[in-house]
Structure 1
Amino acid sequence: MTTITQTTCCYCGVGCGMLVESDGERIVGVRGDPAHPANYGRLCSKGMTLPLTAQSLAGRVLTPEIRVSRDAGRTPATWDAALDTVASRFAEVIRRHGPDAVAFYVSGQLLTEDYYVFNKLAKGLVRTNNIDTNSRLCMSSAVSAYKMAFGADGPPTCYEDLEAARTVIFAGSNMAYAHPVLFRRLEAARAADPSIRWIVIDPRRTDTAAMADLHLPIVPGTDVALFHGMLHHLIWEGRIDRRYIDAHTEGFDALKQTLRAYPPQLVADICGIEESALRQAADWFGESPAALSLYCMGLNQSSHGTQKNLALIHLHLATGQIGRAGAGPFSLTGQPNAMGGREVGGLATMLAAHREIGNAAHRAQVEQLWGVQGLSDTPGLPAVEMFDAVRDARVKAIWIVCTNPVHSMPDSARVREALANAEFVVVQEAFHQTDTVPYADVLLPAASWGEKAGTVTNSERRISRVRAALAPPGDARADWWIAGEVARRLAPKLGVPPEPFAFTSIEAIFDEHRSLTLGRDLDIGGIDYALLDASGPQQWPFPAGAAHGAARRYEDGVFATAHGRAKFHAFDYQPVAEPISARHPLRLITGRLRDQWHGMSRTGRVGQLFEHAPEPAVTMHPADAARRGLRAGDLVRLSSRRAERVLTLTVNDEVASGTVFVPMHWSGQFLGGGGVNDTTTNAVDPYSRQPELKHAAVRVDPLTLPWRVAAVRRGDALALHAAVQPLLAGRRFAAVRLEGDDRIVVTAADVEADAHWLERLHTALALPRDASLLEYRDARRATTKRVAWRGALIDGVLVAGSEADVAGSMSLLARVSAALPWTRARHAVFVADSGPAAPRDRTVCQCKAVAASSIDAAIAAGADVAQLKATLGCGTVCGSCVPELQRMCNAMAMAAQTSAATPAVTGAA
């Protein structure tokens, strides 16, 4: 019997409601919840494939594991043994070195209740503020700026503002990829009212930028200069709201004095854009009846991220574009519950319910509510400093929960070194295949999406229920339960009564969290589980006695500062932390792919999510590639002052000359050596302590790797991936991807042939060594071709040799994917089926499986986006491909215009 469970998506901060279908044993389907106010039934390509990530238990952590010594592997253990080990080892470190010798690194993907228990465990029981979260890497600059400008964290806007805005600025956000469900709402609003203007500020011409009325492709890191120049222009043109400034703000005159040094002409030169474009953007913003800014990692992941956020907020305050429908600075949350983690104080620099660690009264309030004494008054270690402290042994033991810092942290080789040298590492995780799990001395199996319950808070401050559709598999347990059980064992060892840390239900945890918010700016005294179950998701603040939560904040012009006034801050533009040089002349920027998520521990389990962008690549401008003698498809070496990666080259003009782009998702599970963050700098913002993940100085060089390997194999793709992944690090270049749920593709390259490695790959791919394997070998040319058969079907192919050998066998490799029966003599396969395969037909629409060739053909026949939807169905389900459909239509129209404008050349009479 199929059951339907209302829950919330586990990906980005949009907070989409979902209806999950389960048959009692596994999740079999999902659809958007039409009643949820975040998405009204819409889902993106990632959300729609969530059942596929949960259906197989391959790769799941199903039982606790303990490593007896650093020289030994982990072995399965009981929960009692694992929990006792964690409690005993932490207690031992605390006795020897004090509470600040331990640390907790948690995640924006935890539920609020999970976050709450971990925060109370660290700060209330251990009495260390060394608990930080991967939200430090994405949202902390937005938090710092909101607090500095408004006096409190939290966006003043709501999703209804997406429809009410008349001018929309996208700053450092490829919203079409990162928050596609909200982007659909903006598209619908502009379709209904074409006078709405979009301004996109992004160094790349992303799908979002391609749909803009005005694209400002600024030099990476120059956002502060741009916003200063825009405000300078608005002041000069008299388009500021002096009445609002005088009544509701302070510090404007000091900022105005600073802005004298930022005339538009100078700023345009700094930013690498046209002065007229800067003035146009400022005019549209200043004259708009409702201007909304939407921003994300392009502003936050910077060594000056707080100032970038503040400079954009200044535009809103100076023009009175805040506290009303369609207007305001709206930070788009990167993770599903980064907001909930901030609410409970789950970062090293804050206390529960937006209280401050350095405020004695705030500490006393928390002590009273928690029933503890002696909270630390010293801020803890934020993420980058935390792993540096592990590296130099100031922190001896670290507990990592639901996150993968070996992949996601900047200069990640330092993180690997830290964890390799740490005295004790606990990893709490749902999946074996992350880059961090190998460093665990104790591995704790955690419940995953669809298996746990609690609440999350989305980007518009809306709290939603998360409900379990199934029980966790094996011995996996809820994150809050694991933390609570360790607290119960640890408390007596530290001489503390365990009662304040004993929770019997998630609702009891939420109620305790709620009690800490009373009277605070995020008061949720009027929200409980009964209300959420009866009336659905609710926004804060929602104090007791209120009929509903507040959709917008600061509508009365009274802010959360001591004097009720918002604050302007005067500061100058500062360049990126790592300037380019003759040795490293290119600016590396990183970002997202449409269909992947973070380090791909979840989306990497779904083959169809590789179809839009199948391989790890670096994108370069055509002129830069030509100067280096590079062509699309070449393997190149991208290197910084810290590390290098070998990647496939993509060439297009979506990036400016002098800039290269690499997606951040490809981890060591899919790319030999790990992701691009090895090359990034660990410079951090002085206010938020957020690292500059968005920029590094790099070089890209040609690379000669004459020995090439390619393989395709049918079978259980997840099991095959687990077997192949350990081999990736053994080659100069190696990558793996899934195709569907029954195929795996491996590519590799190196300077010299390695017969031993090739045999290991043969074994990992479970290729047979009997009569069902046909092999061709040319020892003189070091060429090997192997074909595995299952009846008349080719079940696997492994080719090794020169680049020409592999290229000439592409049609053979493609036969594994096509599953076409072979009707000729088997030995003829190496000749009759040799040669290049047809170019890969990239899937543009995941939902309807519509390929680029079909779309191109329809456009050539005269179809526009509306007709593509009607005839092919693309863009009609999640809509994530709509920006690309529009871009493809525009590109073909432009090509047709160029062709028509070219005069025909005829021969002389």
Structure 2
Amino acid sequence: MTSPAPRRSRLAPSEAIRTTCPYCGVGCGVLLGRDGAGRIAVKGDPDHPANFGRLCSKGTALAETLGLDDRLRAPRVLGHETGWDTALDLVAARFSEVIREHGPDAVAFYVSGQLLTEDYYVANKLMKGFIGSANIDTNSRLCMASSVAGHRRAFGTDTVPGLYADLEEADLVVLTGSNLAWCHPVLYQRLVAAKAARPAMRVVVIDPRRTASCDIADLHLAVAPGGDAAIFNALLAEIDRRGATDTAFLRHVTGFAEALAAARASDPAESGLSPAELEAFCDLWIGTPKVVTVYSQGINQSSSGTDKVNAILNCHLATGRIGRPGMGPFSVTGQPNAMGGREVGGLANMLACHLDLEAPAHRTAVQAFWDAPAMPERAGLKAVEMFRALGEGRIKAIWIIHTNPVVSMPEADAVRAALEGADFVVVSDITECTDTARLAHVLLPAAAWAEKEGTVTNSERCISRQRAALPAPGSARPDWEILAEVGRRMGWPAAFGWSSVAEVFAEYAALSGVAGALGSDFDISDLAGIDAAEYDALAPFVWPRNARKNGGRFFGDGRFHTPDGKGRMLPVTPRGPESRPGAAFPFRLNTGRTRDQWHTMTRTAKAPRLNQHLGEPYCEIHPEDAARLGLGAGDLVRLHNPLGAVIARAAISDAVRPGEVFVPMHWTAETASAARIDTLVRAVTDPISGQPESKGSVVAIERFAAGWHGFAVSGEIRPEPEAPYWTRLRSASGWQMELAGSDPAPDWEALARRMFGLPGATAATVTDAARGTVRIALHEDGVLRAALFISPRPIAVARSHVVAAVGGPDAVRVLAGRPGADAPDPGPTVCACLNVGLNQICAAITSGQASSVEAIGAALGAGTSCGSCRPELAALLARFGTKGAAA
């Protein structure tokens, strides 16, 4: 189903502009318009084939992220604002100088799945075709490079075989290394609805943690770290033992005997599962022909990620369960345009349109199409290699676009040191307030979501338009224009002479026709002649789109993109993470995402409601481990290894296994004092894909001896905390912080005045020496500007009440920390979409008003929007309900 042709991209009160969400790879359609008060309003597009109107909590809050308070509005050189000509002349000159003196491989681009496809295309053309180096890689290397490598080994090309509809048509869906409920909530809700409509459908979750996705699981397999390949090898051996192979389909596949021999030689115990658990899984998988295996970062982010992918693909190829309705392996991507980046050759080892950089015929064809002066003959440096080369001085100039490697790369402190010591660093971004942007020699202001035009591709190969609804602030420009202008200034005006983004897309579509003639799966050449009006009206479509094939699935007919046209099965020998827990570092560290935040929080942290559900960095730790370490609820812990240290709040939970901990990856030096978890992740990579092992490092953990804890709120002036531990996030009235330290301040009032920048405000202070508590309200003319609460123990105040008091007249009454009986405290946010708090939900349950998840939704609205809070609602029902009922 495709959406109708959209209206033109000019915002007027009565119009809605069709665009796409800038978060995960689901690629949801979004309607942008104005509400009755003239403010930007966001709704899900009911006609978009990815989401049919649904949005997750992050998508629902998009309008709240459009503020311009921290936006970069003009280029900056060494911290000083300048004009575009000065900045771009400098970038072009310095890159040209380095190339002239040290060769093309002395420069690099590090780009992002936040780029639109046209931006990606221009960057790839500039680096590979005209600079003549393959040193362009993307942060997508960190999330799905192993899937790319596995696809290419098995299929001959990086192709996702299936469609989202397969999740609804399958009788069994396996989620492995994928917390779909939190990381791809709208897709998860499609699965929930399908299971509700067909109760016979089964869902299996393979994950070391018990996650929200287990809410609908018929079977949860708590796999050992690195044990995924052992599971699927055991499955392949059992498929053969039970005679469940598809002998007709195997005529289109090579390598079956070798893959089977490796599977039989594997030890199933390496999976961490019992024989009974493995048997139950094999019974379900083998006995259910219509099976889809969904996998994501838990598979990819591994030093053996490519082998894990191929172990999954082997099972589907052996049974012919691929490329048919309700059947197939399905890689779901983490970023809105990770797929678009793969399609244009944004990875260091690929060419545009899924062509092979190291295939001479492919290089020659692309070089001729571009009329390019030089093409690299070998793969460039992948992400980890790239920043190592920068630190070693082999790369002299780097351009980083829409990503924050100082936070997201493994061994993040080494990445920061490399950038601090680099000769020339250019950063294109929408803000200067990122850990990476603060290290740039040249900062270039880029247009943001809702300000730029282009296309993105989601996880099912659906290409959708992203449209502008707002003007870019100041002199910010779209990325393709910035890149093209540098290309012109480096001496290639004709090659980068586009006058519109539609022209870039048309050129890209034309090149795909060249690729299609060479056998590439990616061919959208029907759109090679697209004009501006047609581009403006372009409706979502699933590629390919050419004279031979339009949309649909791949490989069900047994035809692959390998030289012999056959699919390949690969022998896989399972191996666990390289790092092993020991006496010094006994805990396995798992990293990942939370429900309401995105990457390094540059966008999501602007939306106050998204900061309320899990508002601090936390370390999920098993109760047995917590007891052994002497940890109690709310304690702070210090995680460390030879790479560095992190401080986080202990979250004691049996959702993780003993000896394993989970810490989210979102926190930065802008939002917390010591929570950049990737400082502790070793830069160990998969030898084939180059993807880092983000879930396999080891750490030691100890209680952080906090002598005091604090909670603080303020208005619009950003506070500057003074404490060993702090977090700083946007609130509904300004800012809120959590703080802790070992030694108490000699003068809490003076500290508060410095922290909030309010030296002349009137202070109201309440001190309880016996309890060791201090409460300070700073007010001007009776209006509360800031408040600070100090205690020897974690602060027990009604945070939402205190936040709401800022800017109001209760300058002194706020020190009670709780509202009166006439204004009950809603409690911590559970449903971020509709701002429903824990206390409200518990009251509805304990009063008997709500005895099911549906009843909670009817009473309070919680769980009725994106649905990703429904597992938490069910857990609250089980805990507080009189019957323990849960829907």
Q: Work out whether the TM-score is over 0.5.
A: yes
Change (3 A) 1:321 1:366: same
Aligned-pair CA distance for 1:832 = 10
Q: Could you tell me whether the CA contact under 8 Å between 2:447 and 2:479 is conserved in 1?
A: yes
Distance in 1 between the 2:325 and 2:619 partners? 41
- Tell me what 1:902 maps to: none
| 1:253-286 deviation line (CA, Å, top 9, x unaligned) | 1111112223xxx52x322222111111111111
The superposition leaves residues 92-146 of structure 1 with CA deviations (integer Å, 9 ceiling, x where unpaired) of 1112111111100000110000001111111122111100000100111000000
Match of residue 43 from structure 1: 55
Contact preservation (8 Å) 1:588, 1:695 = yes
Which residue does 1:817 correspond to in 2? Answer: 804
| Contact kept? 2:801, 2:817, Cα under 8 Å | no
Q: Which residue in the other structure is 2:541 paired with?
A: 538
Counterpart Cα distance in 1 of 2:742 and 2:577: 36
Matched residue SS, 1:87: helix
- Identify which range, 181-190 or 783-792, moves more after superposition: 783-792
Whether the 8 Å contact between 2:151 and 2:157 is mirrored in structure 1 is: yes
SS of 1:680's equivalent in the other structure is coil
What is the identity, as a one-letter code, of the residue corresponding to 1:842?
Answer: P
Matched, 1:248 2:252: yes
- Partner Cα separation in structure 2 for residue 216 and residue 585 of structure 1: 23
Counterpart Cα distance in 2 of 1:811 and 1:870? 26
1:207-286 equivalence runs, <5 A:
207-245=212-250, 247-262=251-266, 266-267=267-268, 269-286=269-286
Q: Assess if the C-alpha contact under 8 Å between 1:231 and 1:282 holds in 2.
A: no
CA-CA distance at 1:418 after TM superposition: 0.3
Structure 1 residues 92 and 577: CA distance shift in structure 2, 3 A: same
1:296 maps to a residue whose letter is S
Q: Specify the alignment match of 1:331 in structure 2.
A: 331
Offset of residue 698 of structure 1: 1.1
- Contiguous gaps of at least 5 residues in structure 2: 1-11
Give the equivalent residue in structure 2 for 1:692.
693
The amino acid that maps onto 1:521 is D
- In the TM superposition, residue 857 of structure 1 has moved relative to its aligned partner by 3.6
Change over 3 Å in CA distance of 1:795–1:224 after alignment to 2: same
* CA positional deviation for 1:655: 0.8
Post-superposition offset of 1:807: 3.9
Q: Which position in structure 2 is the counterpart of 1:885?
A: 873
Aligned AA (1:773): A
Query: How far is 1:516 from its partner?
Result: 1.4
Deviation at 1:816, TM superposition (A): 4.6
| Structure 1 residue matching 2:58: 3-state secondary structure | helix
Partner of 1:112: 117
Question: Are 2:752 and 1:751 aligned?
Answer: no
SS of 1:182 mapped into structure 2: helix
TM-score by structure 1 length? 0.90
Q: Does 1:512 align with 2:514?
A: no
Matched residue of 1:187: which SS?
helix
Matched, 1:59 2:70: yes
Q: Secondary structure at the match of 2:378?
A: coil
Matches within 5 A, 1:46-125: 46-54=58-66, 56-67=67-78, 74-125=79-130
Rounded to whole Å, the distance in 2 between the matches of 1:813 and 1:881 is 19
Task: Name the % identity.
Answer: 43
Tell me: CA distance 1:190–1:510, structure 2 relative to 1, closer, same or farther (3 Å): same
Distance in 2 separating the partners of 1:585 and 1:569? 34
Question: Using a 3 Å threshold, how does the CA distance of structure 1 residues 871 and 673 change in structure 2: closer, same or farther?
Answer: closer
1:233 shift after superposition: 2.0
| 2:786 match | 796
8 Å CA contact 2:745, 2:751 repeated in 1: no
Distance in 1 (alpha carbons) for counterparts of 2:675 and 2:223 = 29
**C-alpha contact (below 8 Å) 2:130/2:374 kept by paired residues:** no
Compute the displacement of 1:846 (Å): 2.0
The DSSP-based 3-state class of the residue aligned with 2:594 is: coil
Name the structure 2 match of 1:906: none
Partner Cα separation in structure 1 for residue 804 and residue 236 of structure 2 = 56
Say which of 733, 739, 742 aligns to 2:725. Answer: 733
In structure 2, which of residues 833, 853, 863 is the aligned counterpart of residue 865 of structure 1?
A: 853
State how many pairs are aligned: 862
Contact 1:462–1:537 (CA under 8 A) maintained in structure 2: yes
Measured in 2, the distance between the counterparts of 1:604 and 1:705 equals 26
Q: Does the CA contact (< 8 Å) of 1:430 and 1:446 recur in 2?
A: yes
Deviation at 1:666, TM superposition (A): 1.3
Equivalent residue, structure 1, for 2:551: 550
- One-letter identity of the residue aligned with 1:273: L
Per-residue CA deviation, residues 676-727 of structure 1 (Å, 9 max, x unaligned), is 11111100001110001122111211121214443211x22xx52xx53xx5
Shift of residue 868, structure 1, vs aligned partner: 2.2
Q: Structure 1: 5+ residue runs without aligned partners?
A: 68-73, 492-496, 899-909
Q: Distance in 2 between matches of 1:111 and 1:816?
A: 37
1:65-464 to 2 correspondences below 5 Å: 65-67=76-78, 74-245=79-250, 247-262=251-266, 266-267=267-268, 269-464=269-464
Task: Report the equivalent of 1:762.
Answer: 753
Q: Could you say if the C-alpha distance between residues 307 and 895 of structure 1 is closer, same or farther in structure 2, counting changes exceeding 3 Å?
A: farther
Alignment of 1:406-805 (within 5 A): 406-491=406-491, 497-518=492-513, 519=516, 520-527=520-527, 528=530, 534=537, 536-544=539-547, 549-713=550-714, 715-716=715-716, 719-720=717-718, 723-724=719-720, 727=721, 731-740=723-732, 742-754=733-745, 759=750, 762-770=753-761, 772-775=762-765, 785-790=775-780, 794-800=784-790, 803-804=792-793
In 2: Cα distance, 1:148 partner to 1:811 partner: 55
Letter in 1 for 2:98: V
Contact 2:802–2:814, Cα closer than 8 Å, also in 1? no
Q: SS in structure 1 opposite 2:356? A: coil
Q: How does 1:13-32 map to 2 (within 5 A)?
A: 13-22=25-34, 28-32=40-44
How far, CA to CA, are the matches of 2:143 and 2:700 in structure 1? Answer: 26
User: Does structure 1 conserve the Cα–Cα contact (< 8 Å) formed by 2:412 and 2:678?
Assistant: yes
Distance in 1 (alpha carbons) for counterparts of 2:487 and 2:751: 44
Structure 2 letter corresponding to 1:63:
A
| Contact 2:709/2:795 (8 A) holds in 1 | no
User: What is the distance in 2 between the residues matched to 1:102 and 1:192?
Assistant: 54
Partner-residue secondary structure (3-state), 1:878: coil
Offset at residue 521 of structure 1 (A): 1.2
Distance 2:35 2:810 in 1: 41
1:35 Cα deviation (Å)?
Answer: 1.2
**AA at the equivalent of 1:735:** T
Bigger mean CA deviation after superposition, 150-159 or 522-531: 522-531
SS in 2 for 1:691: coil
Answer yes or no: is the 8 Å Cα contact 1:22–1:470 preserved in 2: no
- Distance in 2 (alpha carbons) for counterparts of 1:767 and 1:211: 51
Q: Return the alpha-carbon distance in structure 1 between the equivalents of residues 144 and 534 of structure 2.
A: 29
Shift in alpha-carbon separation, 1:764–1:195, aligned structure 2, 3 A: same
Is the alpha carbon distance of 1:545 and 1:309 closer, same or farther for their aligned partners in structure 2, counting shifts above 3 Å?
closer
| TM-score for both structures, normalised by structure 2 | 0.92
Distance in structure 2 (CA, Å) of the matches to 1:537 and 1:833: 50
Deviation (angstroms), 1:357: 1.7
The 1:871–1:470 alpha-carbon spacing in structure 2 relative to 1, beyond 3 Å, is same
Distance 1:21 1:487 in 2: 36
Question: How much has 1:577 moved relative to structure 2?
Answer: 1.5
Deviation at 1:373, TM superposition (A): 2.6
Give the C-alpha shift of residue 829 in structure 1. 7.8
More off after superposition, 557-566 vs 193-202: 557-566
Look up the SS of the partner of 1:407 in the other structure. Answer: helix
Amino acid at match of 1:559: F
TM-aligned CA deviation for residue 777 of structure 1: 7.2
How many Å separate the matches in 1 of 2:109 and 2:133?
10
- The one-letter code matched in structure 2 to 1:681 is R
Please tell me whether the aligned partners of residues 707 and 742 of structure 2 are also in contact (alpha carbons under 8 angstroms).
yes
Instruction: Please give the alpha-carbon distance, in whole angstroms, between the structure 2 residues aligned to 1:328 and 1:47.
Output: 28
